[in-house]
Amino acid sequence: MITFHNHLHALHQGKLEMFRGQLVPCFEVPARVDHVLMELQRRQLGALEKPMAFDGSALASIHTPRYLDFLAHAWDEWVALDPANAAHDALPSLWPVRTFRSDVLPANFSARMGLFSFDTGTPLTSGTWVAARAGAHCALSAAQQVAGGARAAFALSRPPGHHAGADFFGGYCFLNNAALAAQHLRGRGCQRVAVLDLDFHHGNGTQAIFYERPDVLFSSIHGDPHTEYPFYLGYADERGAGAGLGFNHNLPLPRGSDFATWRAALQLALQGIARFRADALVVSLGLDTFAGDPISGFRLQCDDYLRVGADLAAVGLPTVLVFEGGYAVAEVGVNAVNVLEGFEQEAA
C-alpha cells in the first residue's frame, strides 16, 4: 500500500490550546505523524511518497472561497495587527451564535476568525496553511491513486481534517481531508462513495458537508455526543436532509465501550455501506479509540487494530485511508500501522 506523507506537517505546531477551562500544551503534535512514519519504515509496509500537486480548484470543491482566502492570509493579518503576535498562536475568542449574522464578512480580524471557527482548542500558527494544504494534497493523491486502480492508499498527515466544515475550522482541523478525497473520487468516476469515520470524536465537518447529498454516504462510530466532543452533532437521529435523507448513519457509543461493542457497531456500519453499493470507501482513520488515549474514552487495544484493518479490507472496495486523531503518541504508530497491516493481509 502506498503512503502519501505530508513532509511539511511539522510547520503546524501549536503551542497552547484551551482544554477544560485552561490553556495547556497541545495534544495534537508533530510526533504523532513521526511515530507512524517510523513504524511504517520499520515494517517496510509499502512505498512512501510526497503528495502530488493540485490546483486551488480541488480545495474549492469542498471549501468556500472566503474561508480558503481567510486561511491563506490569516497569519499575515494576525502579525500585521501587532508584530509581537509572531510569538503567539492565534486563537478565536468570539463567535456568531444564534440570532447573529454570518453572511457579512467583518473587517475585524478577531471577528473573522470567530466566524470561521467553533472552538478555542485549535491554534492557528505561522505554518498552518502550508501544512494543511499539503495534507489535503496527500488525501487527494491517495484518492487519485485509488481512482487509477490501486486497491488502497494511505494519507499520512496532520493537522487532521474531519472536524473542518466547508467554511469553519475546529477540533485541530482546518481542511477536511476525507471529504476532499471523497469528492475527488466522485470527480474521477465513482458514482457512490462511502465515508466511514472511525475516530472517537464525531466527524461533524464531514457530516455537514455531505448531509444533503445522496451520492456520498457518511457513517460514523464515535463517543456519545451527550457527553463527548464535539457535542452538538453525532446523534443517531441525524439521518440526512433533503436528497440526502437516509444517507447519514451515526452510531454513538458510551464512554468505556470495549472492542467487542465497538466492532459490533463497525459491522452495522459496514452492512450499511454494502446496502449503499458504494464504488469506493474513504476511511477517517482516528486512532483515539485506543484505551490509553488521554482525551478519549473507548478501550481498544493495539492488537485490535489488526482486526479493524481486516474488517475494512473484507468489504472489498477500493479504499482511501486518511489519518485523523490519536493522541497516545507513543502507541499511535503501532496502532495505525496495525490497521494497514491487517488490511493488507486480508486483501492479499
Asked whether 318 and 273 are in contact (CB, 8 A), the reply is: no
pLDDT of residue 21: 86
Give, for all 348 residues of the chain, the pLDDT tens digit.
Answer: 999 999 999 999 999 999 888 999 999 999 999 999 999 999 999 999 999 999 999 999 999 999 999 999 999 999 999 999 999 999 999 999 999 999 999 999 999 999 999 999 999 999 999 999 999 999 999 999 999 999 999 999 999 999 999 999 999 999 999 999 999 999 999 999 999 999 999 999 999 999 999 999 999 999 999 999 999 999 999 999 999 999 999 999 999 999 999 999 999 999 999 999 999 999 999 999 999 999 999 999 999 999 999 999 999 999 999 999 999 999 999 999 999 999 999 998
Q: Say how far apart CA 262 and CA 100 lie, in whole Å.
A: 39
Residue of 59, 3, 47, 5 lying closest to 30 (CA atoms) = 5
3-state secondary structure of 59: helix
Q: Is 162 a catalytic residue?
A: no
Q: Whole-angstrom Cα distance, residue 272 to residue 250? A: 11
| Eight-class DSSP state of 232 | S
Taking the C-alpha atoms of 305, 134, 10 and 336 in order, what is their torsion angle to the nearest 10 degrees?
10
Taking phi over 0 as left and psi of -120 to 50 as alpha, with beta for the rest, 19 belongs to: beta
Q: Report whether the peptide linkage leading into residue 230 is cis, meaning its omega lies within 30 degrees of zero.
A: yes
pLDDT at 321: 98
pLDDT at 187: 97
Q: Note the pLDDT of residue 20.
A: 84
Treating both helix axes as pointing N-terminal to C-terminal, what angle do 65-81 and 128-147 enclose, rounded to 10 degrees? Answer: 160
Residue 292 DSSP class: T
Sequence spans of domains, the chain: 2-347
Predicted confidence at residue 238, as pLDDT, reads 98
Its sign, for the CA torsion 172, 177, 178, 183, is positive
Half-sphere exposure in the Cβ direction for 117 (13 Å, CA): 26
> For residues 157 and 134, is the Cβ–Cβ distance under 8 A?
yes
User: What is the CATH number that goes with domain 2-347?
Assistant: 3.40.800.20
Residues facing 18 on adjacent strands: 23
The DSSP 8-state label assigned to residue 52 in this structure reads: P
Q: What is d(CA 348, CA 343) in angstroms, rounded to the nearest whole number? A: 9
Indicate which residue of 63, 162, 163, 202 is catalytic: 163
